[in-house]
Amino acid sequence: MSAITPAYRIDDLFADRARKIAPPTYGTELTKIITVSLTYGLADPDLFPQADIAAATTAVLTNTAPAVLNYGPTSPQLYEQLSQRLQTQGIRADRDRLLISYGSAQILGLLPDVFIEPGDVVLIEGPSFLGAVGRFFNAGAKVITIPVDELGLDVDAVEATLIDLKKQGIRPRFIYTIPTFHNPTGSTMPLSRRKKLVALAAEYGVLVVEDDAYGDLRFHGESVPSLASLDEEGWVLYVSTFSKTIAPGVRIGWACGDPAIIERLAMFKSEGPVGPFVSHVIAHYCATGKLDTHIQELIAAYRHKCNLMLDAIAREFPSDVIAVKPDGGFFVWCKLPADMSAKAILTAASEHGVTFLPGTRCYANGQGDDAMRLAFSFQPSEKIVEGIATLGSVLREFRKS
């Protein structure tokens, strides 16, 4: 047999960045038969406003099909709706400070285009949402992990790092933070830390990227002002989404911040504005005024599921597995005692059909085998109870061995 070696290969044509790019690791799933996945922050499918979205679609197609179906900008009404929502929350949101995107993931994915050249320094939280962080790595960023505790990002550690970097002549590009109902820990940064972080951003000339995917879903307590609402000088880029409040499948997110940043994000958004069809549908849904009522329903439902999970954990887990009670969001973060490995527990639990996200998949620096992220958002109540019971028996087995 003789194989003819072709003179040219397709791969030779790839740019250097295309040779180096790594496929996302976030999202790989085990091949076992899983009966209760607590892994992903999926929305509860029983809570989608599908009838209202269908009605909104029919309405916009009946009344304004040319604007909805032809080439054109993202729905101006959606920009208006969003702007009003953000202003209500104390965030400056003029049209030139807003960019609607295909989910907040698109904004996070565009950040490297605007800010990162190979070797540039970015500060992230440990743990964090690696779906975003992976993009910073792909762009060649030098990523520094700052610890998160029960009050969110350790802002004193941020300051120490900024001082240290400044001594080396290094100005980081941005600090990526999830201050409210943090993913994965569920923690919420108090006002004092927020004020200090925003002040540090201005003092050191570093952008703060505030990912507020979960902020609308508060179960308990008083809301805390967003970093963006505390920012006078434009050092905060606010990023959020309708994925947790309307539906992830419609892919509507946004960024709000300095017009120069917004303009550049838009220029690197190479497919152009978010499509008229989906944006007009969501604008019409928002214009019905049903969203705020819907969010109240979501809060009640997710609060119930969160409490159910916390109660089950209290019953089923060894007492030295510490569950962090969140004030909102989709996740319960569990810290494991020193003799337990999240990865080993995951392997054992998946044999019994239960999965979760091991802490190792929330850290960019190899940490995290001492923690588990349990999503209560997706599973129905009885499956949450069943999953935690199974996980409890696996944990007790580990304790015995």
- Site residues for its own copies, window 113-142 (CB under 8 A)? 113-117, 120, 135
Listed ranges 151-159, 261-269, 355-363, 390-398: which one lies at the site for its own copies (CB under 8 A) = 261-269
The token pair at 270 is: 């190479």
Q: What is the dihedral of CA 105, 363, 357, 226, to 10 degrees?
A: -50
Nearer to its own copies, 230 or 247 (CB): 247
- Interacting residue with its own copies among 270, 289, 339, 366 (CB under 8 A): 270
Would you count residue 392 as binding its own copies (CB under 8 A)? no
Nearer to its own copies, 47 or 344 (CB): 47
Nearer to its own copies, 58 or 84 (CB): 58
Nearer to its own copies, 141 or 323 (CB): 141
Own/partner pairs, 146-151, CB within 8 angstroms, 24+ separation: 146/175, 148/182, 148/185, 148/187, 149/187, 150/185, 150/187, 150/324, 151/187, 151/188, 151/189, 151/190, 151/193
318 touches 396 (CB < 8 A): yes
Scan residues 29-58 and list those touching its own copies (CB under 8 A): 40, 42-43, 45, 48, 50-51, 53-54, 57-58
Using CB under 8 A as the binding criterion, the count of chain residues that bind its own copies stands at 87
In angstroms, the CA 374 to CA 305 distance is 12
- Interacting residue with its own copies among 133, 209, 278, 324 (CB under 8 A): 278
CB of 256 to its own copies, least distance (A): 14
Listed ranges 59-67, 178-186, 283-291, 354-362: which one lies at the site for its own copies (CB under 8 A) = 59-67
CB of 180 to its own copies, least distance (A): 20
Nearer to its own copies, 219 or 235 (CB): 235
- Interacting residue with its own copies among 3, 15, 33, 338 (CB under 8 A): 15
Would you count residue 110 as binding its own copies (CB under 8 A)? yes
Scan residues 348-377 and list those touching its own copies (CB under 8 A): none
Would you count residue 14 as binding its own copies (CB under 8 A)? yes
CB of 337 to its own copies, least distance (A): 32
- Interacting residue with its own copies among 1, 2, 5, 12 (CB under 8 A): 12
Would you count residue 314 as binding its own copies (CB under 8 A)? no
In sequence order, what are the residues at sequence separation of 6 or more whose Cβ sits closer than 8 angstroms to the Cβ of residue 179? Answer: 152, 153, 188, 189, 194, 197, 210, 212, 224, 226, 227
Nearer to its own copies, 191 or 267 (CB): 267
Scan residues 163-192 and list those touching its own copies (CB under 8 A): 171, 173-174
CB of 207 to its own copies, least distance (A): 6
> Whose structure tokens read 């020193």?
338
In angstroms, the CA 368 to CA 391 distance is 18
103-120 burial: b if 16+ Cβ within 10 Å, else e: bbbbbbbbbbebbbeeeb
Scan residues 193-252 and list those touching its own copies (CB under 8 A): 202, 204-207, 233-235, 243, 247-251
Nearer to its own copies, 14 or 304 (CB): 14
